[in-house]
Structure 1
Amino acid sequence: MTVELRHLRAFLVIAEEGNITRAATRLRLGQPALSRTLRRLEDHLGVRLVDRSTHHLELTAEGRTFRDKAAVALAAVETALDPRGLTSWPLRLGHSWAALGDHTITLLRRWDEAHPDIPLELLRIDDRTAGLTQGKVDAALLRGEVTAPGLRTEPLGSEKRVVVMASDSPLAALPQVGLTDLTAHRIALNTVSGTTTMDLWPPTAQPLATLEVTNTDEWLMAIAAGRAVGISTTATPGNHTHPALVFRPLADAPDVPLVLARREGPGHPALPDLIALTHEILATG
């Protein structure tokens, strides 16, 4: 079997839908034909990409790895075939919620001055790697531990944590907040791109409850409405100001690492310039 782009697209739709029937409908194919495509792709690779033992289709570990690689490959082909890229090749920088914090505007302005022929596109993508493993961006500003395979990370420093609360929260009267102050409150957790987990507290002093959300906007609204409090970093206040929100330092939690990540192998030729400029801006403050 010769693997073609249509086979990669078909598998990515299967992975996204989690169901062969829905994937076939979306692709306007018959279900038997799509099932045969999946089997042939598995035979070609010599591994099982899909676990068929459960009612809901689940990807195997190999399937998840292949999904990410297929997404990157398709994105690279689409970028290469985009006629706009023949006159200008944008450098796409992803982030999940805070970009470079207070230095974001400086980065964009200085890049435009130094590289007027290479647009720097800043893209917020609600994803653990801000679209990097899916090939949606060339580099990403990520916080916390980066565990996705096939990525190179450039350490940029670390950020202190802050507690985010509604302006009428009783915690707002405190000059700073400790982890024990939060145990009587519900904690908003961004389960897709957040850096806070319940591991931040000792097992014997866990918060009252959690409120799970899947993106930054839901997280902010839940906190502003007084439904929960959140924990973020010092990069958040400058990017997500709101009259209903108050930020206080979190006194007794470790800092959060900040890195600039990119995929292994050849990438955008301007990536070294982006890394150098980012270090320069952070160094001069």
Structure 2
Amino acid sequence: MREQVRPAVGNTDVDLSQFRCFIAVVEAGSFTGAAQRLHVTQPTVSRAVQRLETALNARLLNRSTRHLSLTPEGRTFHADLREAYVQLDRAISRLHSSSVLRIGFCWLLPEQFSRFVTRFAKEAGVDFEFVRDDTATAGLHSGHTNVALLRRIPRDLPVAALPLWEETRVAAVARNSPLARRDHVDWAELADWPLVRNTVSGTTSPDLWPPRHRPEVGAVCSNHDEWLEAVAAGRGIGTVPELAARRNSHPSVVYVPVRNAPAVQVSLALPERGAHPLAEQLAAAAGREFSAALAR
């Protein structure tokens, strides 16, 4: 980003690249040496310093074919500029050290994603924290989180979603239900049973079935824990990703494999505007990581 600063004198804007060129010339002792340090051409450095002198209306360097030295004004300006750069470096370091990427989720964070984030953070040299937020965007809409792993993307909120992978569904039924003794059930026959629906972070709603054969809603809740207790109490059945069968046991709930069920899409979501730079980096890395895994 090109940050411009209005000088106290003169009528031309100056920018940080001109300051960097001037400092490099002083430290290298020549325009050629400064160009090598900055990986640019010598004329680029020369023009930058000339524009800086014009903007400040001051001669900063004494030039000759054999010698380059600071003028009195240049010596004072260089000392002040070096001090300002030290303060700038400190400010950037403090900001970087305090910048924590907050990754939201509603429930059941998959192991492969946790491992990926840990590796990404280590390679990028950043810190992160997982934040559970029982809202439709796992905290994105409120700014509580910077990026979120979602299994359902709300249509009425401004988020951009990157699909990562799909999960297989299983049915969750009360242990005393006739379905609990089955080896498997078919997706279509689940429409004959009342449905426990998590309206905030759940992945199952009646409109996933054909219009003429949809389940009635037996209970409504707003988070996964409430949903699990409603299923355990026999208020209806539910379907969740297979991960729940391994990670979220309940003495009164049985998970049954489901055939012909629609998969659950897992996506990484960011705000449509003003996303955290680290969140954008994470999304780019996740796209490479999981698209490659799907290709295999």
State TM-score, norm by structure 1. Answer: 0.61
Q: 1:114 corresponds to which residue?
A: 123
- Distance, in Å, in 2 between the alignment partners of 1:223 and 1:196 is 13
Alignment deviations for residues 128-158 of structure 1 (CA, whole Å, 9 cap, x no partner): 1111111111111112344234322211122
Amino acid at match of 1:261: A
Q: Is residue 248 of structure 1 aligned with residue 256 of structure 2? A: yes
Partner SS state of residue 143, structure 2: coil
Aligned match of 1:126 in 122, 125, 134?
Answer: 134
Q: 1:260 corresponds to which residue?
A: 268
- Distance, in Å, in 1 between the alignment partners of 2:194 and 2:251 is 21
Q: Is residue 186 of structure 1 aligned with residue 194 of structure 2? A: yes
Q: 2:180 corresponds to which residue?
A: 172
Q: How has the CA–CA distance of structure 1 residues 174 and 134 changed in structure 2, closer, same or farther, with 3 Å as cutoff?
A: same
Q: Is residue 102 of structure 1 aligned with residue 111 of structure 2? A: yes
Q: Is residue 269 of structure 1 aligned with residue 277 of structure 2? A: yes
- Distance, in Å, in 2 between the alignment partners of 1:97 and 1:222 is 16
The RMSD of aligned alpha carbons is: 2.7
- Distance, in Å, in 2 between the alignment partners of 1:127 and 1:191 is 10
- Distance, in Å, in 2 between the alignment partners of 1:209 and 1:269 is 41
Q: Is residue 91 of structure 1 aligned with residue 101 of structure 2? A: yes
CA contact (8 A) 2:165 2:290 kept: no
Alignment deviations for residues 91-127 of structure 1 (CA, whole Å, 9 cap, x no partner): 011112223x232442354345435x53221112111
Q: 1:35 corresponds to which residue?
A: none
- Distance, in Å, in 2 between the alignment partners of 1:180 and 1:154 is 29
List runs of 5+ in structure 1 lacking aligned partners.
1-83
Alignment deviations for residues 155-201 of structure 1 (CA, whole Å, 9 cap, x no partner): 11222222112333321222222234323422110112212111122
Percent of pairs identical after alignment? 35
Q: 1:33 corresponds to which residue?
A: none
Q: Where does structure 1 differ by over 6 angstroms across 4 or more consecutive aligned residues?
A: none
Partner SS state of residue 197, structure 2: strand
Higher mean Cα deviation, 214-223 or 143-152?
143-152
Partner SS state of residue 183, structure 1: helix
Q: How has the CA–CA distance of structure 1 residues 283 and 210 changed in structure 2, closer, same or farther, with 3 Å as cutoff?
A: farther
Q: How has the CA–CA distance of structure 1 residues 265 and 162 changed in structure 2, closer, same or farther, with 3 Å as cutoff?
A: same
List runs of 5+ in structure 2 lacking aligned partners.
1-93
Q: Counterparts in 2 of 1:128-167, with a 5 A limit?
A: 128-167=136-175
Q: CA deviation at 1:209?
A: 4.2
What number of residue pairs does the alignment pair up? 200
- Distance, in Å, in 2 between the alignment partners of 1:148 and 1:138 is 18
Q: 1:237 corresponds to which residue?
A: 245
Larger radius of gyration: 2
Q: How has the CA–CA distance of structure 1 residues 108 and 224 changed in structure 2, closer, same or farther, with 3 Å as cutoff?
A: farther
Q: How has the CA–CA distance of structure 1 residues 249 and 90 changed in structure 2, closer, same or farther, with 3 Å as cutoff?
A: same
Higher mean Cα deviation, 135-144 or 269-278?
269-278
- Distance, in Å, in 2 between the alignment partners of 1:190 and 1:250 is 19
Amino acid at match of 2:191: T
Q: CA deviation at 1:216?
A: 1.1
Structure with greater contact order relative to length (CA < 8 Å, sep ≥ 6): 1
